[in-house]
Structure 1
Amino acid sequence: MTFSIVARSAGPDPETASWGVAVASKFLAVGSAVPAAVAQVGAIATQAHANVAYKGLALAHLDEGATAEVALQRLLEEDEGRDHRQVGIVDVEGNAASHTGSACLDWAGSVTGDGYAIQGNILTGEEVVSAMEAAFLASDPEAPLAQRLLAALEAGDRAGGDSRGRQSAAVLVVREGAGYGGMDDIEVDLRVDDHATPVEELQRLLGLNDLYLTASTEEEKVPMTPELREELEGIARAAGHRDLEGWVGAENYEMRVAEDLSWVDRRILAIARGEEAAQ
């Protein structure tokens, strides 16, 4: 009842590697059941007649040093319902493993490669996972993992996706220190629980996530000169805020403006000046 991709994206520095899952289904709130991931540990998708206990168990096995294949074997050997399960796992090094139980409903199957596992069941056909793999491999390996996962999910959706239709989609990506304020590892955690075009809606939400919940890069930071500070203070007060700091907090721009107001993100500056919409 689901198609998903589990993947690792290393980037130029292994310390900044990301792990993630993207999933779509004709199932309410698929993001509540299928994905799980921990930075510097790995990621898993559990689906078909999903055993949600797999999430914690798999991550525990991976955290103890098991490879994706070993973690998968341990899950299956302890589960009498293994023939009804579908699972994809990627470990800390990017090794991938996938399982499709013999009792999963057609079409069901998977494909794995270096750093990714793609799987689906009750699909329109094998072309769904093939399209997802092609899109993932064609994506820029240095692009944010969430974008690459969504490219694969969109390709699977266009290829037919879930044979029963569309309802929900989700993307979860983790990276060390990537969370709000740098306090956890959640880089992206978005869900569309019930929607006519959930994958398309998920892409829209990812754009908002980038604006509000992603820290500015050094290239995006504009130094706050006295002149710029005066300009932004005027814009903030004209909009009804007490001052610039109040505007930042009220508009949820904490990840895009320095706490000490020493810099402002160039995109936030464009929004303030009315040169770009905030979506």
Structure 2
Amino acid sequence: MTAPSPALARAEALLLASRPQEALAELATLPPAEAVGAAATQLRCAALGQMERWQEVVEAASAGLAASGPDPDLLRHLGRAEHRLGRSQVAERALLDGLALAPQDVELLCTYADVCAANGQTDKAAKLVERAAALRPEAPIVYATRIQVAYASGDDKGAQRMSREFVAAHPEHPAAHALLGGTSAIRGQVDTAYEGYRQAAATMPTEQAFAESALELRIARHPLMLPLRPTLRFGALKTWAVAAAMIFGLRAIGQPVLSAIVGLLWLVFCVYSWVVPPLLRRWMRRNWR
């Protein structure tokens, strides 16, 4: 068996370090015979996927499958990319073909679960991720997928609990902290959300999205944002509905003065929400380190 070239090993290391552009540059130096092999194609698909160049992932995976024949990893990359491009039926076919070849493949099971959850098939997604969990219960992808399925099912509390478990099991994993940040933000727990994204950004400083989320949550934690916490927790629509119900409810029970006071307070709240956050965001971004 021929050992992989140093360029292939370097490309794999760069991918693990979240440096996909450099990984692609290494893959471009491979000899022609190795460049079209399954291992190089899988790394190419992974690098393009990290950069969210999904159409190119489809093209690379399809070319690899045409050249080398059915391959579970390439079918997983193809299915994931087709899903991201909005072609769910094509994605499902690719993932099912992959599972027919490797029914115990945890990454394939979790990718298929993600597709099902995104399509509203949460019961099917839960069964798929439980199959994966039975095989590798501590795998990061299993934790991440269980969280996504719980969120898709409307179980925000369960998703946050699983995120805490993910962090406890893999404290060095940036996705664990990011998911804890995301699930906490959904539940209006700004401090926990900020800490989650701050840890994710510290663990993976090359991921700009983590740093941006940490900054937004740092802004949300500012004392000037305290009056707006109800909006952050429940959303603008629900907050508006409660205010409207109070204003018209007080008027309906014969309390026009109180209704007017609540209406005035609501107007002040609205003006505050329009003016303060943009100014605060501009100031904090200017001073962000």
**TM-score, normalising length from structure 2?**
0.30
Higher relative contact order (CA 8 A, sep 6+): 1
Pick the structure with more strand per residue. Answer: 1
Pick the structure with more helix per residue. Answer: 2
Structure with bigger gyration radius: 2
**TM-score, normalising length from structure 1?**
0.31
